[in-house]
Amino acid sequence: MLKSMTGYGRGEAEQDGLQATVEIRSVNHRFLEAVVRIARPFIVLEERIKEQVQSQVSRGHLDIFVTFTDNNEKKRNVKLDKELVVAYHECLRELAEMMQIDFQPNVLGIAQYSGVIVEEEAGDDLDRAWLVAYRALTEALQQLGGMRFREGERLARDFDLRRERIASIVDEIQERSPQLEEDLRSRLQKRLQAMSVDCEIAEMRLTTEVVLFAERSSITEELVRLHSHLEQLAEMLNSTDPVGRKIDFLIQEMNREINTIGSKAADLTISPLVIEVKSELEKMREQVQNVE
């Protein structure tokens, strides 16, 4: 069954006072693009989160918001990067000599430089954070998948109704197709009679013209391919695999076939039918942009 690329999911989990909330918003996109927004101390979990998302989602732009709330009171540890402090100190001293000014190092000033003093995260804290985030993420993905599936069902029903409508119109065109040659013969007969051409010559010319036109304007192959495409579409609508791009390509092929039919069969009965098919295909083309 089809899946939509639009959806929303939210999950929460808590363990040992650490609470994680995950929200996922998904919209259309040609490929899979997952953007994780998470607090800097937990940024190392970003790749794990993306891996979980990629295992369940094939297409779409996903914004994933991960927040942590630690209800435990704990002492936070900070770490001094001594080598970086020395490097900053030497650079500042060299700068003072170059500028020929007194070197007056300021401890508070150096401490504000990036990376000099950093908050230290314990490894077990990150492991605990991942366990809680994983549970929240699993719940959010389940909700997202359910919403995408329900929207996909609606899209599949709409596609199937339009597919049946197109198949019915193609059948009408196919029923009309044999009459095209007879209509051509009649039109050419009238033209030749109006030209007062010898009857025997006129009949020979008429036969030749009809044969040549039949070869140039036959729409049998296009009709056969259209029926084949419609059968493939029916199979794709019941597939459990991501088929959005395949359906998009199939719609382009059907549009090409119906355009060829419209060009070849310049007929007052077939032309409106061709327009109806193109209208249905255009609506399907718009809808398929939202299919995974």
Residues 62, 291: Cα–Cα separation, whole Å: 14
* Phi-psi group of 266: left, alpha or beta (phi > 0 → left; psi -120 to 50 → alpha; rest → beta): beta
Structure tokens at 132: 């809680």
Contact 287, 158 (CB under 8 A): yes
- The reported pLDDT for the residue numbered 38 is 94
Question: From CA 31, how far away is CA 202, in angstroms rounded?
Answer: 62
Q: What pTM does this model have? A: 0.70
Write down the domain spans for the chain: 7-73+123-149, 82-115, 151-288
pLDDT at res. 207: 65
pLDDT at 239: 87
Tokens of 231: 């059968």
For residue 100, count CB atoms less than 10 angstroms from its CB and return exposed for 0-12, middle for 13-18, buried for 19 or more: exposed
Question: Is 115 within 8 Å of 84 (Cβ atoms)?
Answer: yes
Nearest to 245 by CA among 203, 279, 291, 187: 291
Contact 274, 262 (CB under 8 A): yes
- Identify the bridge partners of residue 120 per DSSP, sorted by sequence position: 77
Are 105 and 91 spatial neighbours (Cβ–Cβ below 8 Å)?
Answer: no
Handedness of CA 76, 82, 87, 88 (dihedral sign): positive
CATH 3.20.20.140 fits 7-73+123-149, yes or no: no
54-76: string of b/e by CB count within 10 Å (b at 16+)? eeebebbbbebebbbeeeeeeee
* Dihedral of the alpha carbons of 81, 84, 90, 91, in degrees to the nearest 10: -140
pLDDT in tens, the chain (292 residues): 789 999 999 999 998 889 999 999 999 998 999 999 999 889 999 999 999 999 999 999 999 999 999 887 555 677 888 888 888 888 888 888 888 888 888 888 888 888 888 766 544 578 889 999 999 999 999 999 999 999 999 999 999 999 999 999 999 999 888 777 677 667 666 665 666 555 555 566 666 665 666 566 678 889 999 999 999 999 999 888 899 999 999 999 999 999 999 888 777 888 999 999 999 999 999 999 999 9
At residue 82, the pLDDT reads: 86
Q: What is the pLDDT of residue 194?
A: 65
